[in-house]
Amino acid sequence: MTQLALVIDLNVCVGCHACVTSCKEWNTSGWAGTMVDQNPYDGSPTGTFFNRVQTFEVGVFPNTETVHFPKSCLHCEEPPCVPVCPTGASHKRADNGIVLVDYDKCIGCKYCAWACPYGARELDEQQKVMKKCTLCIDRITDATLSERDRQPACVLACPTSARLYGDVHDPDSEVSVAIRERGGYQLMPEWGTKPANHYLPRQKNRMYISPDELTRVDNPLRKEDLTTYTGEETLDDVAW
Amino acid sequence: MHPAFSVIFLTTLLGAGQGLFLAMFTGQLYAIARFLPVQEDQFYAIGSLVALWLLVVGLGASFFHLGRPERAWRSAAMWRTSWLSREVIILPILMALVFAYSVAHLMHWTQPWFRIGEVLGVDATLLLGLLGTIASFALFVSTAMIYASVKFLQEWHSTFTVANFTLLGLASGFMLAAAYSAYLGNPLVSFFGTWAVVLTLGALVSRVAHLRRNARLKHKSTVQTAIGVRHTAVVQKAQGAMGGSFNTREFFHGRSPETVRLVRNLFLILVFPMPILLISGAYLIESTTLPILAFVIQYIGLLAERWYFFAEAKHPQNLYYQSIS
């Protein structure tokens, strides 16, 4: 069983929204039709997006840190949005585990959006059907593209490689290794939805230096040197 | 959640329609048992036609909730998993049964087909009424389970949701039956009125218990589990859009807490004490207008009740949409 998914590295995401714009560009130009933009150059611009980057502040000033948080459909292994759909438009593909909406069957009743705790689904105000991340199903299954291009648009666009893409059921895939070795976690695990997408936590590299590490305690010259120093340059100061 | 008037009218109109049909059939059963005087067939027939009209208007209201109403026929497909699909199937079945029940009375198809014991003659109206009763309760359960089955909306994910939808629907239906009898000058008004009071009191117990449960509710998801950061202070600074999105329009009611409290207090007065007082007053002074007023006020209260039902529910996705910038 294949389960394609994204692994998003919060440690390197800089919140540039390149994944948002490339997602919109690719998917609004695709065979499934446009993703509406309402008032794009006006006071309250709104529209359909499959992917959004949100920003959270953790801690209290001055000890704060900013977390940029890209959010799209998590392609749950137990998708709660699928069984509630009355028409069968919302489905999970058996061959690669991607959760999709058949836009020709959707009646726009919004029940699946109610049944998604992540707010990953958005009703398109123009086409009046439910839309969501397809993991660029039309890219990744297009055999005419080169191997490198057969990835979701957001993954190709990310300048910091914060988005990894692959099969999370294959233990040796890049994504599985990243989840395993770098503490990958799921969002809202309390609901039992088993999201396929994972997030890698922020990690701070800290260097602890104790004072005795700054001087060479076993310097042999110090043992043999019988000079009495009065503040001038010592052998320790000499660069060799 | 954003209270959509299409769904508010759908659920309240269906409830009153099912309740009215059940009231008509209850009246017929009591008459068969000779607890009540036997009514003309026309009484049951017109009553069920009013019930059918409510079901049709309710169904019409539901279409305003759909983005693509012309594809609504597709929604019967997934009845194995979706309560919405089940409702879509049961509603037309109930409509057909209510219509057939009405026609059977209008055409006087009351010759018994067979007899159970000496006294009970089973005719077309009795069988159709029984089937309609089963369909009515099935519809109460499916309509309520659409909401009660969504585990993420913890305010709804409760048996109380099913109890409230059923009891409030029955109460308003029997109240309408009392109003209908009062309009015709039929003596059954006190029978339906008594049942309406009993059902309204039952609904009061269930609804207040639901309110108390929800007041103590502890939400499973927090902003910490939403983004997976372990810190007591996590504040959203941007949601990725400046002008709102479907997520801000569909899942927030956009009213102040005072307004929501006001609507709650309003429905607690309009749905429960006022109709009971009015119908009791009608009994005392033998008024024919007070039962009609009682139904109208209870129905307006039910609109407020359903509005509050939606506004009260807090969806976990709202954790991702706390701040615009």
Token pair recorded at residue A94: 């058996």
pLDDT at A225 over 90: no
ipTM of the complex: 0.92
Q: Is A39 on the interface with B (CB under 8 A)?
A: yes
Q: What's the whole-number mean pLDDT along residues B63-84? A: 95
Per-residue pLDDT reduced to its tens digit, B231-251:
999 999 999 998 899 999 999
pLDDT at B111 over 90: no
In single-letter form, the type of residue at position A192 comes to G
Q: Answer whether B88's CB lies under 8 Å from A86's CB.
A: yes
Query: Taking CB atoms and an 8 Å limit, are B150 and A84 in contact across chains?
Result: yes
Q: What's the whole-number mean pLDDT along residues B54-65? A: 97
- Nearest beta carbon to residue A122 from set B82, B227, B246: B246
Per-residue pLDDT reduced to its tens digit, A81-93:
999 999 999 999 9
pLDDT at A239: 67
- Please, what are the domains in chain A? 4-200 (3.30.70.20)
pLDDT at A236: 67
Identify all chain B residues contacting A119, using CB atoms and an 8 Å cutoff.
Answer: 247, 251, 315, 317-318, 320-321
pLDDT at A205: 85
Q: Answer whether B144's CB lies under 8 Å from B162's CB.
A: yes
Give pTM, 2 decimals: 0.91
Identify all chain A residues contacting B146, using CB atoms and an 8 Å cutoff.
Answer: 111
pLDDT at A240 over 70: no
Per-residue pLDDT reduced to its tens digit, B116-160:
887 788 899 999 999 999 999 999 999 999 999 999 999 999 999
Token pair recorded at residue B133: 């009763």
The pLDDT confidence band at residue A206, using thresholds 50, 70 and 90, is confident
Q: What is the Cβ-side half-sphere exposure of residue A154, based on CA atoms within 13 angstroms?
A: 32
Q: What's the whole-number mean pLDDT along residues A135-158? A: 95
Stated as kind and residue range, the H or E segment containing A70 is strand A65-72
Q: Is B156 on the interface with A (CB under 8 A)?
A: no
- Nearest beta carbon to residue A45 from set B74, B243, B251: B243
Q: How close is the nearest chain A Cα to the Cα of B247, in Å?
A: 6
d(CA B211, CA B209): 5
Lowest mean pLDDT among A168-177, B202-211, B278-287: B278-287
Lowest mean pLDDT among A35-39, A73-77, B107-111, B140-144: B107-111
Q: Answer whether A202's CB lies under 8 Å from A56's CB.
A: no
Mean pLDDT, chain B, whole residue set = 95
Mutation to test the A interface, candidates B70, B75, B90, most A Cβ within 10 Å: B75
- For A45-67, give one letter per residue: b (16+ CB within 10 A) or e: ebbbbbbbbbbbbbeeeeeeeeb
- Measuring CA to CA, how many Å separate B126 from each of B46, B107, B115, B121? 16, 14, 12, 9
Per-residue pLDDT reduced to its tens digit, A183-192:
999 999 999 9
Mean pLDDT, chain A, whole residue set = 92
Query: Taking CB atoms and an 8 Å limit, are A87 and B146 in contact across chains?
Result: no
Strand partners, A70: A53
Stated as kind and residue range, the H or E segment containing A71 is strand A65-72
pLDDT at B65 over 90: yes
- Please, what are the domains in chain B? 5-215+237-320 (1.20.1630.10)
Question: Strands A51-58, B234-238: parallel, antiparallel or unpaired by DSSP?
Answer: antiparallel
Per-residue pLDDT reduced to its tens digit, A31-45:
788 999 999 998 889
In single-letter form, the type of residue at position A232 comes to E
Q: What's the whole-number mean pLDDT along residues A139-151? A: 95
d(CA B275, CA B299): 10
pLDDT at A172: 97
d(CA B287, CA A162): 74
Number of residues written out for chain A: 240
Token pair recorded at residue A75: 């392609």
Per-residue pLDDT reduced to its tens digit, B172-224:
999 999 999 999 998 899 999 999 999 999 999 999 999 999 999 999 999 99
pLDDT at B205: 98
Q: For B87, which residue in chain A has the nearest alpha carbon?
A: A86
